[in-house]
């Protein structure tokens, strides 16, 4: 009977070996090592765990394996090189990925290939190292250099081999400076559901019809390219399963937007930072009844665009930010969008009072109406009915008064409140009776207003999770409120400039390791700058103590801090202090 047992054991061992239950497949491990050799010109950027030893390659960095089959399913090879270095002869060889037959996700974004390998294994080298040197030396100039120096960008010969990876679902080729020819081969990977082609050099003049073959595509990112008009994206109309489309930062016009009406499955559309000026008809976009998110910010849209919004009954997120719109808010048709959760109409020129119907949008979580010309009074009902709010920004308008803060007493989800009044005498009533807020704010900006400091500090005494607080330009008096830092141990920014705080600048009783910005300029503080400031504020990056009455020298402990901006210009020895401050700032920022 022993021979039966040994036969059975042998069969089990063979099966275990075949299924690679103890680690990744040997073929794929060797392929990863080969990929490391050819893909990383600078070996210091190669993942340190990618070594030819007994380690399991499924545990290597940037590698994800299927839990059951132990085959590589995801590879993250984005940003693989030093962006300030010049590399020669770095070619993308698609054959390196063919051993990964179960690969579902491949990220190659933000890499600088000098060419691609042809089918015969030779190089397709399309621009010289000279171009690279110009780009890297001038990279801070901006995006316009990308278009100048890469007009003869990477061709995609040999890339069609990726079409053999018939399980590939996710492909990211962003920031690779590919031109339109890449589409002919990407279009052959019919299994794709997500395709990122952002920050390339595609104009849409050729090959865009190839995208129509991606019948399974659900998400497509073509942002930051050179797409211009309606005729260039006709292929997109056949993508019947497309749910997410990102076209931001191109050169698209209104006719392009109208052409998207055939994408009936579309749920999220980002077409911000384009040129959508011109009239629009209701027939153009009212078919997008499944659209949940629409971003047309910074796109020069006209007021008549607002008339079609009421037909997008499924909208949950809408951004009209920065379009110089000056119509009255009644024209928006917003009150019919009962499912709206996020609304951003900031940086426009809307006038008049906020219509009362806005308070019926009880699903709103985010509301930003800052930097407009809204006037009148903000009623209690407007705020109190929107109990789902998490973010509320009312800054930079011309309101005369704000409803009492007790109007938001029941807003248990509120995390961000911003009201910057531009010193226009806006009256803010913090407390009209005793109440305890049900929320914990993370960001609180209340500046340039007329406010009672006692009631405001009482309100703030209930807050223990503030990250950013701005009480500037409120003419507040009394001792410096060190307790704000002590109560909120994760505070990052503290802005108290242009007030009338007196006394010394005391430090919190315990080190505040998160604080990086402190601006207490233009107050009446005096005494010495604490010598142990580096102990209690060790991660400070910006410090403004100017226009106070501090005396003495700058503490030597500043040498232990990496302050990149430091101001403490005084009446006495002002030039000396000014020069020392700038010298320290320049020195610390170089560390």
pLDDT category of residue 117 using cuts at 50, 70 and 90: low
Residues 554 and 577 sit within 8 Å (Cβ to Cβ): yes
pLDDT at 573 over 60: no
Q: Give the pLDDT of residue 19.
A: 45
Instruction: Give the mean pLDDT of 381-402.
Output: 92
Task: Give every strand in the sheet of 427-428, ordered side by side.
Answer: 351-352, 373-378, 398-402, 427-428, 450-451
HSE at residue 371, side-chain half, CA atoms within 13 A, is 11
- List of domains in the chain: 25-226 (3.80.10.10), 242-314 (no CATH), 316-468 (3.80.10.10), 476-591 (3.80.10.10)
Q: Give the pLDDT of residue 129.
A: 30
- Between 286 and 104, the higher pLDDT residue: 104
pLDDT at 293 over 90: yes
**Neighbouring-strand partners of residue 549:** 526
End-to-end CA distance of the chain: 75
- Between 113 and 399, the higher pLDDT residue: 399
φ, ψ dihedrals at 177, nearest 5°? 60, 35
Question: pLDDT tens digit string along 478-521?
Answer: 999 999 999 999 999 999 999 999 999 889 999 999 999 999 99
pLDDT category of residue 397 using cuts at 50, 70 and 90: very high
Residues in the chain: 591
Q: Give the pLDDT of residue 144.
A: 34
**From CA 337, how far away is CA 363, in angstroms rounded?**
10
Residues 26 and 74 sit within 8 Å (Cβ to Cβ): no
460: number of Cβ within 10 Å:
22
Kind and range of the H or E run holding 5: helix 2-19
> How far, in Å, are 242, 391, 408 from residue 436 at the CA level?
47, 19, 10
Q: Give the pLDDT of residue 89.
A: 61
Radius of gyration of the chain (CA): 30
> How far, in Å, are 392, 497, 569 from residue 573 at the CA level?
44, 22, 8
pLDDT category of residue 44 using cuts at 50, 70 and 90: confident
> How far, in Å, are 132, 178, 494 from residue 113 at the CA level?
10, 10, 44
Kind and range of the H or E run holding 9: helix 2-19
Q: Give the pLDDT of residue 487.
A: 96
**From CA 214, how far away is CA 222, in angstroms rounded?**
15
Local structure of residue 164 (DSSP, 8 states):
G
Percent of the chain with pLDDT over 90: 43
**Neighbouring-strand partners of residue 372:** none
- Between 471 and 565, the higher pLDDT residue: 471
Q: Give the pLDDT of residue 230.
A: 55
Q: Give the pLDDT of residue 380.
A: 83
Burial of 568 by CB count in 10 Å (0-12 exposed, 13-18 middle, 19+ buried)? buried
The predicted model scores a pTM of 0.84
Burial of 325 by CB count in 10 Å (0-12 exposed, 13-18 middle, 19+ buried)? buried
Question: pLDDT tens digit string along 153-211?
Answer: 455 555 667 778 889 999 999 988 788 888 888 888 999 999 999 999 888 877 788 88
- Between 223 and 335, the higher pLDDT residue: 223
Match 């020195």 to its residue by tokens: 587
Residues 216 and 238 sit within 8 Å (Cβ to Cβ): no
Question: pLDDT tens digit string along 13-38?
Answer: 545 444 444 578 999 999 999 988 87
Q: Give the pLDDT of residue 392.
A: 96
- Between 83 and 470, the higher pLDDT residue: 470
Q: Give the pLDDT of residue 235.
A: 63
Instruction: Give the mean pLDDT of 259-273.
Output: 90
Task: Give every strand in the sheet of 91-92, ordered side by side.
Answer: 91-92, 115-117, 123-125
Q: Give the pLDDT of residue 284.
A: 62
Instruction: Give the mean pLDDT of 82-109.
Output: 80
Q: Which of 6, 84, 17 is nearest to 45 (CA)?
A: 84
**Neighbouring-strand partners of residue 420:** 447
Match 């900031």 to its residue by tokens: 346
Q: Give the pLDDT of residue 162.
A: 75
Residues 72 and 63 sit within 8 Å (Cβ to Cβ): yes
pLDDT category of residue 444 using cuts at 50, 70 and 90: very high
Q: Which of 147, 95, 88, 76 is nearest to 112 (CA)?
A: 88
- Between 378 and 366, the higher pLDDT residue: 366
**From CA 296, how far away is CA 303, in angstroms rounded?**
12
Torsion, Cα of 337, 339, 342, 344 (10° steps): 0
Alpha carbon of residue 533 to chain centroid: 33
Q: Is 213 left (phi over 0), alpha (psi -120 to 50) or beta?
A: alpha
Instruction: Give the mean pLDDT of 427-447.
Output: 86
CA angle 465, 470, 475 (to 5 degrees): 130
| DSSP letter string, 95-158 | GGGTT-TT--EEE--S---SEEE-TTS-EEE-S-HHHHHHHHHSGGG-THHHHHHTTT-B--TT
Residues 367 and 341 sit within 8 Å (Cβ to Cβ): no
Residues 490 and 511 sit within 8 Å (Cβ to Cβ): no
Residues 397 and 367 sit within 8 Å (Cβ to Cβ): no
Match 């016009």 to its residue by tokens: 253
């Amino acid at each position: 009977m022993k021979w039966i047992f040994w036969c059975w054991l042998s069969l089990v061992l063979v099966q275990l070996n075949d299924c690679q239950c103890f680690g990744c497949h040997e073929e794929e491990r060797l392929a990863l090592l080969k990929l490391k050799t050819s893909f990383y010109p600078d070996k210091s950027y190669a993942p340190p765990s990618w070594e030819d030893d007994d380690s399991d390659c499924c545990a290597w960095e940037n590698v994800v394996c299927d839990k059951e089959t132990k085959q590589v399913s995801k590879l993250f090879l984005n940003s693989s090189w030093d962006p300030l270095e010049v590399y020669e002869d770095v070619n993308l060889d698609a054959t390196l990925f063919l051993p990964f037959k179960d690969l579902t996700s491949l990220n190659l974004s933000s890499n600088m290939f000098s060419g691609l390998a042809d089918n015969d294994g030779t190089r397709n080298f399309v621009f010289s190292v000279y171009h690279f040197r110009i780009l890297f030396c001038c990279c801070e100039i901006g995006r316009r250099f990308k278009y100048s120096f890469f007009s003869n960008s990477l061709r995609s010969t040999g890339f069609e081999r990726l079409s053999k990876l018939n399980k590939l679902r996710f492909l990211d080729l962003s920031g690779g400076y590919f031109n339109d020819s890449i589409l002919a081969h990407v279009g052959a990977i019919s299994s794709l559901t997500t395709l990122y082609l952002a920050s390339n050099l595609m104009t849409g003049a050729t090959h865009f019809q190839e995208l129509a073959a991606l019948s399974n595509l659900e998400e497509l990112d073509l942002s930051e390219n050179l797409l211009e008009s309606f005729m260039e994206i006709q292929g997109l109309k056949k993508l019947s399963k497309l749910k997410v489309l990102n076209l931001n930062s191109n050169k698209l016009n209104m006719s392009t937007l109208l052409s998207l009406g055939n994408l009936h499955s579309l749920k999220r559309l980002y077409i911000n930072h384009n040129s959508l000026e011109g009239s629009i008809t209701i027939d153009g976009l009212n078919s997008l009844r499944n659209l949940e998110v629409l971003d047309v910010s910074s796109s020069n849209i006209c007021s008549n665009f607002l008339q079609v919004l009421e037909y997008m009954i499924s909208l949950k997120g809408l951004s009209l930010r920065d379009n110089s719109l000056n119509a009255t808010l009644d024209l928006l048709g917003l009150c019919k969008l009962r499912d709206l959760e996020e609304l951003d109409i900031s940086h426009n020129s809307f006038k008049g009072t906020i219509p009362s119907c806005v308070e019926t949008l009880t699903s709103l979580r985010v509301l930003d109406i800052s930097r407009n010309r809204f006037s009148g009074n903000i009623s209690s009902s407007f705020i109190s009915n929107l109990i789902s709010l998490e973010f509320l920004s009312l800054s930079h308008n011309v309101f005369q008064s704000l409803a009492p803060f007790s109007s938001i007493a029941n807003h248990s989800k509120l995390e961000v409140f911003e009201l910057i009044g531009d010193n226009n005498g806006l009256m803010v009533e913090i407390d009209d009776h005793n109440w305890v807020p049900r929320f914990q704010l993370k960001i609180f900006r209340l500046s340039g207003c007329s406010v009672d400091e006692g009631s405001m500090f009482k309100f703030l005494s209930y807050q223990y999770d503030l990250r950013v607080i701005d009480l500037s330009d409120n003419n507040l008096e009394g001792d410096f409120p060190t307790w704000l830092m002590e109560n909120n141990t994760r505070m990052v920014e503290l802005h108290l400039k242009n007030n009338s705080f007196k006394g010394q600048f005391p430090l919190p009783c315990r080190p505040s390791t998160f604080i990086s910005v402190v601006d207490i300029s233009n107050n009446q503080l005096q005494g010495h700058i604490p010598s142990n400031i580096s102990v209690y504020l060790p991660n400070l990056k910006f410090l403004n103590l100017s226009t106070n009455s501090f005396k003495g020298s700058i503490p030597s402990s500043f040498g232990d801090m990496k302050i990149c901006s430091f101001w403490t210009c005084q009446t006495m020895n002002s030039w000396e202090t000014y020069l020392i401050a700038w010298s320290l700032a320049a020195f610390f920022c170089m560390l």
